[in-house]
Amino acid sequence: MIICFDIGGSAIKGAITYSPERIFPLPRRETPLTDFHRFVGAMEAVIDEAGGLPDRLAISITGVIDPETQRIKCANIPCIDGRELAAELEAALHLPVVIANDADCFTLAEAGIGAGRGHRIVFGAILGTGVGGGLVVDGRLINAVGGFAGEWGHGPVSAREAGNPPVAIPAFDCGCGQRGCIDTIGGARGLERLHAALHCKERASQELIEAWRQGDVEAARTVDIYVDLVSSPLALVINITGATIVPVGGGLSNSEALIGEIDRMVRSRILRRFSRPLVVRGQCRVEPGLIGAALLGFDRDHLDGGPRA
C-alpha cells in the first residue's frame, strides 16, 4: 500500500492506493502555508486516517526540487520553500518519501493510463493559471530526482508580434524574474492579460473562451494571437524532445476547441508531420496528481526491489 498526496497552495489531497488503477481518496485538508509543524501534522492526519502502515509516501506538489541540493523552490507554500523536503518529511513521518512536481505527475499519469499510453516520449503541457510541463520517456520521468526539464513556460522567448495581421506584443514581467516568458501569456491569467493589452477590456478567461466560441470579434482576435504565441514554443519543445503525443491539462484544457486550434497550429510548425492530433486534451480528468504520485511511488518500489514485507 502507498499513500499518495497531491499538495497545492490551497489543499492537501490524500489517497490510499494499491495500484495506479485502485486509488481511494481521503478527505482533503487545507494546506498550512506558514507553519511547517502544522504542514507535517496535516499529512500525519491523512496517514492516520488511512490506517495501516504504507510502504512509502508518494507526493505530487507545486514547486520544483533542485536535483543537486534536493531543496524545493515553492513560492505557493512558504513554510516548505528552501527545505530538503523529502529528507525532512522522512525524518518527521518515519516513512520513505518520494516527491515530484505536479506537472511531472500529470505527465506520468497521462503516459501511464491516459492519452500518452503506448507512446515512448510523452510531453505533458499544463495550461492552467500559468504554464508548466513534464517529460516522460519509456515510462520514466526525466525529473526522477528533481529538476527543471519540461518548464517550457519560462525563458524570455515570447514573440514580440503575433496574429494575422500581426500586432505588437508587450514583454510582460514574469514571476520568475524575467520578462517575456510564455507563462505571462500562456495560462488563464495570461490570456486575460493579453486581452486587456489588445482591447483595454478586462474579461475572465472562461468568458473569453465562450465569447470566442460564440463568434465575438474581439475575443476571436485575442484567441488567434494567443494560439500563435503559444504554438511556436510548444512546437520547438516537440522538435527537441521528439514527443509523439502532448496531453494538455489545466483549466484551459477544458476547451477542446482551443486545444484543437493549438494542435492545428503546432502541427504546421514542427519538422515531423502528423496526420493525427498531436496536442490533445488530457484523459485523466479526475485527480491526475494523485494518479501520477501513485505511479511515481510504484515505480520507486520497483527500483527498490518491491514493497517492504
Q: Residues 23, 1: contact at Cβ < 8 Å?
A: no
Q: Backbone phi, then psi, for 65, in 5-degree steps? A: -90, 125
Q: What is the pLDDT of residue 307?
A: 44
Q: What is the pLDDT of residue 286?
A: 86
pLDDT digits 0-9 by tens, 150-194: 999 999 999 999 999 999 999 999 988 899 999 999 999 999 999
pLDDT at residue 305 is higher than 80: no
Helix 102-113 and helix 288-303, axial crossing angle in degrees, nearest 10: 80
pLDDT digits 0-9 by tens, 120-138: 999 999 999 999 999 999 9
**Helix, strand or coil, per DSSP, at residue 275:** coil
Q: What is the pLDDT of residue 20?
A: 78
Instruction: Average the pLDDT over each of 103-112, 273-282, 292-301 and give the range with the smallest value.
Output: 292-301
* Residue 17 CB coordination number (10 Å): 24
Q: What is the pLDDT of residue 201?
A: 95
Confidence of residue 304 (pLDDT cuts 50, 70, 90): low
pLDDT at residue 273 is higher than 90: yes
pLDDT at residue 115 is higher than 80: yes
pLDDT digits 0-9 by tens, 46-64: 999 998 889 999 999 999 9
Average pLDDT over residues 11-17: 95
Report the distance separating Cα 62 and Cα 99, nearest Å.
10
Paired sense of beta strands 279-281 and 246-249, if any? parallel
Average pLDDT over residues 51-78: 92
Report the share of the chain in percent with pLDDT over 90. 88
Report the distance separating Cα 298 and Cα 1, nearest Å.
9
Q: Backbone phi, then psi, for 86, in 5-degree steps? A: -60, -45
Report the distance separating Cα 15 and Cα 160, nearest Å.
45
Report the distance separating Cα 138 and Cα 134, nearest Å.
14
Average pLDDT over residues 76-87: 95
Q: What is the pLDDT of residue 301?
A: 56
State pTM to two decimals. 0.93
Residue 27 CA, chain-centre distance (Å), reads 22
pLDDT at residue 308 is higher than 50: no
pLDDT digits 0-9 by tens, 233-255: 999 999 999 999 999 999 999 99
pLDDT at residue 1 is higher than 50: yes
Q: Residues 263, 277: contact at Cβ < 8 Å?
A: yes
Q: What is the pLDDT of residue 275?
A: 95
Ordered domains of the chain (ranges, CATH):
2-104+286-303 (3.30.420.40), 117-281 (3.30.420.40)
Cβ-proximal residues to 152 (8 Å cutoff; 6+ apart), any chain: 125, 131, 133, 182, 233, 234, 237
Instruction: Average the pLDDT over each of 34-48, 76-90, 231-245, 286-300 and give the range with the smallest value.
Output: 286-300
